[in-house]
Structures are given as structure tokens and as C-alpha cells.
């Protein structure tokens, strides 16, 4: 038969070891014995609310209706359930399952299997859990290790994390670490090196230096302070990497800025502008607006609607500049197409086509086709065939040569 000990409401009681269950009335204070003061309950604790424990506390289960405050460690073998209130633990807390309606605060480490809080969860120490589910906000000062974190509002973790799945409706900030999958509705930030497999964020992402991961899908902007290794980047707005970027593929609706080199084994596709301080290389490069880099290299194609601005030039199998575009720096490709009324400097190609009204300085190719109203301010050299339409302005007489300059 299980014994029960009752403590009346609005009282102060000192306990030591309770063999059985403990029932506590409202507005009571429980003191413990020993150093540090401790109360051990072999059964369950039932609190009517507004209860304070001035001691370390252990039990099989803890149930409460209303607020409970514990000035010490809390050790529960199985479940903690607090209805219509908050639980504050000024020490360490361990349990299997925790369910708190309003808020949970732990001043030191929190170790649980599952924790479900309707309002806010805050821990000043480390947190270790399998499943964390919070309706409002989750804040932790120490390291966090969890299989799944699901928060409706915001997450702020100062130290490193090890998380399998992070799902947040609003904003999330972590201190670096490892997250297999990030799914955030608003913004996500990592203040230190982060390893990840997937990042899916509706708004803004900020990562620290030398982060490494897989797929990035961001609706707004994506910024990395330093270097980044990745698989795919798909961003609706802007991508900024202050160091170097290395990955498979990048697709951006707006603008890409890279402080060093950008090396891709797949495609680079950008609707607006690309600025890379060093070399940009990819299998295919397709830019709607402007490409600016020290050097641009593509295994297959480079297609730019606006301008290509380089120091060492652009090299690819196929290069095309759009209508009224502009190319600064040499072009070296098997096939080159200069759009209508576009401007280019030196062109080196096996097959070169200048569409109507295009301007170039020097053109070197095996087969060269110059449409009407084009202007060549330098020289034209070819080894195979030259076709020149009417109304073409040539500064020098074209030369058929045995070998073209490099």
C-alpha cells in the first residue's frame, strides 16, 4: 500500500525522506534537511500551485496545477507535468518527459528525453534531449544536443549545437556546431563554424567562416562571413560570401558577391549580377545582367545578357554576350557570339559571329562572320573562312594567316 503525506496550504514544512506520495497545498514552502538541503520522495509529488522548494528534490513523478519554484536540483525518474503555470528550477534538472503549459526555466543543465512547453523554455546550462517542442521561444546559454527541436517562435542558443532537425517558425540563432536539417520560416544565424546537410529558410541566413554543408534554399538573402563549402545554393535574392565558395551549383534570382574565388563543378545561374574578386569557374555560367571577375572559366558555356568585365578574360567552349552588352577583357572560346550592338575587346575563337551593329577591337578565328553595320577598330585574322556583310567598318584589311595569335 502506497503511503501519502499531505502538507496543508499556506504553510512552511521541513521534510527529509518521504516513503510514498507527497501532496502539497497552495502557497506552501518546503525545506529540506542535510547539506545541501534535500527532499527525497519515493512516489509522486502533487502540487496545487504556487509552491516553493528550498532544497534539492527527487521523486518518481511531479504533477502541479500552477507555478512551482525549486531552489536546487530537480531529479524526476519519469514525468513532470505542470498545468496552468510555470516551473522554475534554480539548479540542474533531469527527467524523462516534461510537459509545462506556461514556461520552464532551468538555471543549470537540463537533461530529458522529451520536453513540451507551451510558452517559453530557457536554460542557462547545457541541454540534452531527444525531442524539444516549444510554442513560443527557446533560449539556452550552454551547448544543446537534441534529435529534434520544434519551436513556433524563436530560438537563441549561445554555444555549439548538435541537432538532427531544427524547425522554427520565426528566427533562430546558434553558436555553431552540427545541424543535419534547418527549417526556419524567418531568419537563421550561426555565429561560429556550422556543418549542415540542408538549410531551408524563408528570409535571411547568416553563417560564419569555414562553414560546410549540403543544400541551401533561401527565399531572401544568404551571407557567409568567410569561406563556405556546399553542394547546392538556391536563393531568391542575394548571396554574399566574403571568402571563397566551393560547391556544385548556384542558382540566384538577384545578385552574387564573392570576396575570393567561386569554384563550381556544376552550373552558375544568376538573374542579376555576379561579382567575384578572384576567379569564377563552373560547368555553365548563365548571367542575366553583369559578370565581373578577375577571370571567368566555364567547361561548356558562358551566356551573359548584359556585360562581362574581367582582367584576364573569359574562357569556355561557347561564349555569348547579349544585345547591347559589353565585354571588357579577352574572350577565348571554340564558338563566340557577340550580340547586336554589343561591344567587345579581343576575341579568340574557332567560330566567331558578330551580329548586326556589334563593335570589337580585334577578332581572331578560323571562321569569322561579321554582319552588317559592325565596326572593327583593330585587326581581323582568320585561317579558314571570312564572311563580311555590307556596311561593315574595318580599320584594317582582314588577313588570312596560317596560325592565329594565342
Per-residue HEC secondary structure of the chain comes to: CCCEEEECCCCEEECCEECCEEEECCCCEEECECCCCEEEECCEEEECCCEEEECEEEECEEEEECCEEECCCEEECCEEEEECCEEEECCCEECCEEEECCEEEECCCEECCEEEECCEEEECCCEEEEEEEECCEEEECCCEEEEEEEECCEEEECCCEEEEEEEECCEEEECCEEEEEEEECCEEEECCCEEEEEEEECCEEEECCCEECCEEEECCEEEECCCEECCEEEECCEEEECCCEEECEEEECCEEEECCCEEECCEEEECCEEEEEEEEEEEEEEECCEEEEEEEEEEEEEEECCEEEECCCEEEEEEEECCCCEEECCEEEEEEEECCCCEEEEEEEEEEEECCCCEEEEEEEEEEEECCCCEECCCEEEEEEEEECCCCEECCCCEECCCCCC
Please give the model's pTM, rounded to 2 decimal places.
0.92
Predicted local distance difference test score (pLDDT) of residue 2: 61
The C-alpha atoms of residue 30 and residue 16 are separated, in whole angstroms, by: 10
Chain position carrying cell 538573374: 271
Rounded CA gap, 228 and 216, in Å?
11
pLDDT in tens, 145-169: 999 999 999 999 999 999 999 999 9
What would the grid cell of residue 43 be?
Answer: 512516489
Taking phi first (over 0 means left), then psi (-120 to 50 degrees means alpha), and beta for anything else, what does residue 48 get?
A: alpha
Contacts (Cβ under 8 Å, ≥6 apart) of 282: 250, 262, 263, 264, 265, 266, 267, 268, 297, 298, 299
Answer for the pair 58, 36: CB distance below 8 angstroms, yes or no. no
Q: Residue 344: is the preceding peptide bond cis (ω within 30°)?
A: no
Q: Where are the domains of the chain?
A: 1-95, 329-406
**Three cell numbers at 315?**
574562357
Q: Which pLDDT score is estimated for 209?
A: 83
pLDDT value of position 1: 43
CB 234 within 8 A of CB 253: no
- Please list the pLDDT of the chain residue by residue as tens digits (406 residues): 468 999 999 999 999 999 999 999 999 999 999 999 999 999 999 999 999 999 999 999 999 999 999 999 999 999 999 999 999 999 999 999 999 999 999 999 999 999 999 999 999 999 999 999 999 999 999 999 999 999 999 999 999 999 999 999 999 999 999 999 999 999 999 999 999 999 999 999 999 988 999 999 999 999 999 999 999 999 999 999 999 999 999 999 999 999 999 999 999 999 999 999 999 999 999 999 999 999 999 999 999 999 999 999 999 999 999 999 999 999 999 999 999 999 999 999 999 999 999 999 999 999 999 999 999 999 999 999 999 999 999 999 999 999 998 7
- Specify whether the CB–CB gap between 182 and 164 falls below 8 A: no
Predicted local distance difference test score (pLDDT) of residue 406: 72
Residues 204, 187: contact at Cβ < 8 Å?
Answer: yes
pLDDT in tens, 358-390: 999 999 999 999 999 999 999 999 999 999 999
Amino acid at each position: 500500500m502506497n503511503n501519502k503525506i499531505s502538507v496543508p496550504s499556506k504553510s512552511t514544512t521541513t521534510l527529509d525522506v518521504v516513503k510514498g506520495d507527497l501532496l502539497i497545498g497552495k502557497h506552501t514552502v518546503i525545506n529540506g534537511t542535510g547539506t545541501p538541503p534535500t527532499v527525497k520522495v519515493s512516489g509522486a509529488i502533487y502540487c496545487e500551485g504556487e509552491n516553493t522548494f528550498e532544497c534539492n528534490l527527487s521523486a518518481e513523478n511531479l504533477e502541479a496545477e500552477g507555478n512551482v519554484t525549486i531552489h536546487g536540483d530537480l531529479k524526476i525518474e519519469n514525468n513532470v507535468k505542470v498545468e496552468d503555470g510555470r516551473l522554475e528550477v534554480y539548479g540542474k534538472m533531469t527527467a524523462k518527459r516534461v510537459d509545462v503549459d506556461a514556461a520552464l526555466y532551468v538555471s543549470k543543465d537540463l537533461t530529458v528525453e522529451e520536453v513540451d512547453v507551451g510558452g517559453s523554455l530557457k536554460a542557462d546550462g547545457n541541454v540534452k534531449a531527444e525531442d524539444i517542442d516549444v510554442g513560443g521561444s527557446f533560449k539556452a546559454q550552454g551547448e544543446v544536443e537534441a534529435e529534434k527541436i520544434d519551436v513556433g517562435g524563436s530560438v537563441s542558443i549561445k554555444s555549439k549545437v548538435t541537432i538532427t532537425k531544427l524547425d522554427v517558425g520565426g528566427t533562430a540563432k546558434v553558436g555553431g556546431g552540427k545541424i543535419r536539417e534547418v527549417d526556419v520560416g524567418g531568419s537563421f544565424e550561426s555565429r561560429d563554424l556550422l556543418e549542415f546537410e540542408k538549410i531551408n529558410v524563408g528570409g535571411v541566413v547568416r553563417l560564419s567562416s569555414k562553414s560546410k554543408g549540403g543544400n541551401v534554399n533561401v527565399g531572401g538573402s544568404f551571407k557567409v562571413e568567410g569561406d563556405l563549402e556546399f553542394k547546392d545554393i538556391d536563393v531568391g535574392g542575394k548571396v554574399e560570401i566574403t571568402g571563397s565558395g566551393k560547391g556544385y551549383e548556384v542558382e540566384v534570382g538577384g545578385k552574387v558577391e564573392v570576396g575570393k574565388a567561386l569554384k563550381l563543378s556544376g552550373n552558375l545561374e544568376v538573374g542579376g549580377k555576379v561579382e567575384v574578386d578572384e576567379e569564377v569557374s563552373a560547368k555553365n555560367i548563365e548571367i542575366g545582367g553583369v559578370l565581373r571577375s578577375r577571370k571567368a572559366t566555364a567547361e561548356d558555356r558562358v551566356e551573359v545578357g548584359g556585360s562581362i568585365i574581367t582582367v584576364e578574360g573569359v574562357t569556355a567552349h561557347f561564349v555569348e554576350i547579349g544585345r547591347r552588352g559589353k565585354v571588357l577583357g579577352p574572350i577565348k572560346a571554340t564558338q563566340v557570339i557577340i550580340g547586336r550592338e554589343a561591344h567587345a575587346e579581343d576575341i579568340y575563337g574557332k567560330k566567331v559571329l558578330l551580329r548586326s551593329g556589334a563593335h570589337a577591337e580585334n577578332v581572331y578565328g578560323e571562321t569569322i562572320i561579321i554582319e552588317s553595320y559592325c565596326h572593327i577598330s583593330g585587326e581581323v585574322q582568320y585561317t579558314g573562312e571570312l564572311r563580311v556583310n555590307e556596311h561593315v567598318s574595318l580599320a584594317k584589311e582582314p588577313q588570312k594567316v596560317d596560325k592565329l595569335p594565342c
